[in-house]
A and B are shown apart, each in its own frame.
Chain A
Amino acid sequence: MLATLAKLLKVLNSETSPWSLAWGISLGMVLGLTPLFSLHNLLVLFAVLALRINLSFFLISFTVCSGLAYLLDPAFNYAGELLLTSPKLLTTWQALYDLPLARLAQFNHTITLGSVAVALVLLFPVLVMAHFIIINYRTRIQIRISRLPIVNIIKGTKFWSLYQKASQVKKGLSS
């Protein structure tokens, strides 16, 4: 647990692209909020693995959002029901119903569609917000935090030594 936290802090304080971290958080949210064994999650997984998206933040985001999804399933069910029973969208759904790929995506399942819709709506706000927070953390918050007395106490703990160790390994690998 401490090692994971150290790793996360290391990544946060490193020079890793803020977009990489922000995409990790937002795509982890998509995977976490929607049913795991869905066709669209195959695409999400491919994107996370194939592109330079931070895996640590992706996994943390996925774990946290999976827990949230259990609580939010009734809301997703409501959203899906609303969309799937909307008369304006009926022709779209009927057209999709004839497409094998759409059937594989199980678009007509209320929780699947509801959760995907909510995740897509949240994707870009979460991405932009995460990017903003990471940038601000690195430029302002990180320096202020390092000056706090509590941080000096932390620097004397096992956690700090782990963090340092991780940083040295990173430096060694990069040199």
Chain B
Amino acid sequence: MMRIIRWPGVVGFFVLVVVVIVFFALFLDNLVRAGLSSALTRTNRAEVNIEQVELRWSPFAVDIKNLQMTNPEKPTHNRFAANSLRAEVRFWELLIGKIHVEELTATGVQIDHERAQPGKVLAAAEPREKIAVRDRLAEFNIELPTAKSFLEGANIATPALVKEAEEKFNQREQLFSEARKNLPKQEALDNYQARIEAIIDSKPRTPRDLLAAREELNNIKQELRAEKERVDAFLAVSESIVKDTKQDIDEVKATYQADLDRARALFSFDTESLTELSGIMFGAQVEQWAGYALMAFDLIAPLLENAKENEATTPSRWQGRYVDFDTHSSPTLWVKQAQLSMQLEELEFGLAMQNITWQHERINTPTEFQLTTNNAPGWEQFNFNGDLFINNLGQVRGKQQWQLAGVQLHDLELIGSSSLSTAITTALLNSVGSLVINNGDITGQGDLHFTDTDFSVTGEGRVPQYFGQALSRVNTFELNLGLSGRFSSPKFQLRSDLDQQLGTQLNAILSTEVESRLAEVRTSLTSDSNGFMSKAEPWLVQAEALHGQGKSLEEGFAELLKAEVDNLIESESERLLDRLKKKLGNN
């Protein structure tokens, strides 16, 4: 028996074991640090830095110092950073690939904190479009255009139209004069009348007289036919000239009015166009507040989603996988209690979370969270809580609500640039809101009620001046924040009665200026169109009268051309003569 045992080998084995234990005792912390950084980086989809890791054996715990998790959408900032973090982990679960944390405590937590160097991102997120405040303000055109700049603008149509109409009018006037020469002279008409009266006065009785009368009438008719043709030619020309000139005059009048209306619209503020003004002023600040409101979801949800995706990925045949035989069906990751203390804008908050996991159906309990504050002077009410549940199909549902009352705001910067700087000097803020997550889609809204507001506005140009005057008259307003989209990347919509209030105030401030500039435009447009209108309108009256006269002549000639001698002499003679007299001017 003693021959088959190799005693130096037994000693060597134990020496080897001791060496291995010493090696791990010396380097285990660093090995864990490297492993943890790598695993968290995969889960976070961006660089995770850990300064130091210490393992405690009883109870088994991991102490992490200076943890920084890069925000994959903004690599210059950390999504989450903590000065220290302690996780009491269940050792035996760890051995079979499960992470069960009994208690997680983190101090010095910072959200959206700037990194010393940008972190590496595993999968780059699409950058969000950002528009500079100044560009956004320019869209509202708060600076009024001058009358001169308006009149020089391409939108003014009256001067060009008047010029064109004047040229056409001059040509038509000439054409009309030419055509007018075709109308018979008064002497010629008198002559026709005298000759017809002579036929009637002759009262032919004998066939010879009748023949002579008929011949004379035929001669007159022949001459009248030629006259009628000339009158027809005049009518053909004059009709289109009168119609076109009338149309031009109407068009000039309409364009003049349209230009005036356009000027009025441009000079006056349309309150509808100011609906985004509050978004520009409060957008950045409200987005930051909304970010705080969604902090719990922001912290938990992406990590859980990424971890779940990592777990769901088919394991490599070269790496294998752990098969779960847990009869209690405990989750793969389960943080039973977490307590995070953080500083947000000079206030200390505590975020308590229970049952963080992505396998909620295994414990039949949602992840719950509550936010509390200890050093918020003057806050009359603060409730903030919610929950999150991910079912086996990976569908996320949850809810969150908050009530906040009595928050005194001081020197809250809204827009900060050299051209325009706006800040709330003092205001009292109350807020209430809620949101629901259903199958990963978020819907919710929050109301922010500001009272006793006092603004300060500084900057270059007239915009700050208008703003300052308008805002000084605003005392109370509401901001309504709408939340929608995927819960991992929510979208914000901002509505406010401040837009309407500001629009009304700006309208009142600018109304005097608007009227004087409008009068200037009216004068200019009137002088442009007056020259043409003073000529064209009286001329059109005359042309219409001549056209009517020509028409009467043409009708008179037509009737005479149908007349016969017997008719002239007998029953019809008087009537025809009367009508002819009327057509020819009652003489």
Residues of A in contact with B (beta carbons under 8 Å apart): 42, 45-46, 48-52, 73-74, 76-78, 80-81, 84-85, 90, 93-94, 96-97, 100, 103-104, 106, 108-112, 114
Please report which residues of chain B, range 300-329, place their CB below 8 angstroms from some CB of chain A when the two chains form the complex: 315, 317-327
Q: How far is it, in angstroms, between the C-alpha of A45 and the C-alpha of B9 when the chains are bound?
A: 10
Q: How far is it, in angstroms, between the C-alpha of A49 and the C-alpha of B320 when the chains are bound?
A: 30
On whether A110 and B320 interact (CB within 8 A), knowing A50-B5, A52-B3, A97-B325, the answer reads yes
Query: Which residue from chain A places its CB closest to the CB of B15 in the assembled complex?
Result: A49
On whether A73 and B9 interact (CB within 8 A), knowing A104-B95, A108-B96, the answer reads no
Task: Give 7 nearest A-B pairs by CB, closest first.
Answer: A111-B320, A49-B9, A74-B317, A97-B325, A110-B320, A84-B323, A49-B13
Q: Are B318 and A50 in contact (CB under 8 A)?
A: no
Enumerate 25 A-B pairs (CB-CB under 8 Å) in ascending A order.
A45-B13, A45-B16, A49-B13, A50-B9, A50-B13, A51-B9, A52-B3, A73-B318, A73-B320, A74-B317, A74-B318, A77-B320, A84-B323, A93-B323, A97-B325, A97-B326, A103-B92, A103-B95, A104-B95, A109-B320, A110-B315, A110-B320, A110-B322, A110-B323, A111-B320
From B3, B4, B319, B324, A111 is in contact (CB under 8 Å) with B319
The yes or no answer to B12 lying at the interface (CB within 8 A) is: yes
When distances are taken between beta carbons in the complex, the residues of chain B under 8 Å from A110 are: 315, 320-323
The yes or no answer to B6 lying at the interface (CB within 8 A) is: yes
Q: How far is it, in angstroms, between the C-alpha of A123 and the C-alpha of B304 when the chains are bound?
A: 44
When distances are taken between beta carbons in the complex, the residues of chain A under 8 Å from B9 are: 48-51
When distances are taken between beta carbons in the complex, the residues of chain B under 8 Å from A80 are: 320
The yes or no answer to B10 lying at the interface (CB within 8 A) is: yes
**Closest-CB distance, B212 to chain A (whole angstroms):** 134
When distances are taken between beta carbons in the complex, the residues of chain A under 8 Å from B10 are: 49-50
When distances are taken between beta carbons in the complex, the residues of chain A under 8 Å from B322 are: 106, 108-110
Q: Are B318 and A94 in contact (CB under 8 A)?
A: no
Q: Are B324 and A108 in contact (CB under 8 A)?
A: yes
Q: Are B95 and A85 in contact (CB under 8 A)?
A: no
Q: Are A100 and B12 in contact (CB under 8 A)?
A: no
When distances are taken between beta carbons in the complex, the residues of chain A under 8 Å from B324 are: 108
Please report which residues of chain B, range 433-486, place their CB below 8 angstroms from some CB of chain A when the two chains form the complex: none
**Other CB < 8 Å A-B pairs besides A78-B317, A100-B95, 6 of them?**
A50-B5, A97-B325, A106-B95, A106-B96, A109-B321, A110-B321
Q: How far is it, in angstroms, between the C-alpha of A94 and the C-alpha of B95 when the chains are bound?
A: 15
Please report which residues of chain B, range 12-43, place their CB below 8 angstroms from some CB of chain A when the two chains form the complex: 12-13, 16-17
Residues of B in contact with A (beta carbons under 8 Å apart): 3-6, 9-10, 12-13, 16-17, 92, 95-96, 315, 317-327
Q: Are B92 and A100 in contact (CB under 8 A)?
A: yes
Q: How far is it, in angstroms, between the C-alpha of A109 and the C-alpha of B315 when the chains are bound?
A: 11
**Closest-CB distance, B386 to chain A (whole angstroms):** 35
**Closest-CB distance, B320 to chain A (whole angstroms):** 3
Q: How far is it, in angstroms, between the C-alpha of A49 and the C-alpha of B88 when the chains are bound?
A: 38
**Closest-CB distance, A157 to chain B (whole angstroms):** 34
On whether A51 and B96 interact (CB within 8 A), knowing A93-B325, A109-B322, A110-B320, the answer reads no
When distances are taken between beta carbons in the complex, the residues of chain B under 8 Å from A50 are: 5-6, 9-10, 13
Q: Are B317 and A77 in contact (CB under 8 A)?
A: yes
Query: Which residue from chain A places its CB closest to the CB of B318 in the assembled complex?
Result: A73
Q: How far is it, in angstroms, between the C-alpha of A90 and the C-alpha of B323 when the chains are bound?
A: 11
| Interface-central residue, B5, B16, B321, B327, by most chain A CB under 10 Å | B321
Q: How far is it, in angstroms, between the C-alpha of A141 and the C-alpha of B21 when the chains are bound?
A: 46
**Closest-CB distance, B383 to chain A (whole angstroms):** 43
Q: How far is it, in angstroms, between the C-alpha of A104 and the C-alpha of B13 when the chains are bound?
A: 20
Q: Are A52 and B13 in contact (CB under 8 A)?
A: no
When distances are taken between beta carbons in the complex, the residues of chain A under 8 Å from B4 are: 51-52
| Interface-central residue, A50, A90, A103, by most chain B CB under 10 Å | A50
Q: How far is it, in angstroms, between the C-alpha of A73 and the C-alpha of B16 when the chains are bound?
A: 28
When distances are taken between beta carbons in the complex, the residues of chain A under 8 Å from B17 are: 42
Q: Are B13 and A97 in contact (CB under 8 A)?
A: no
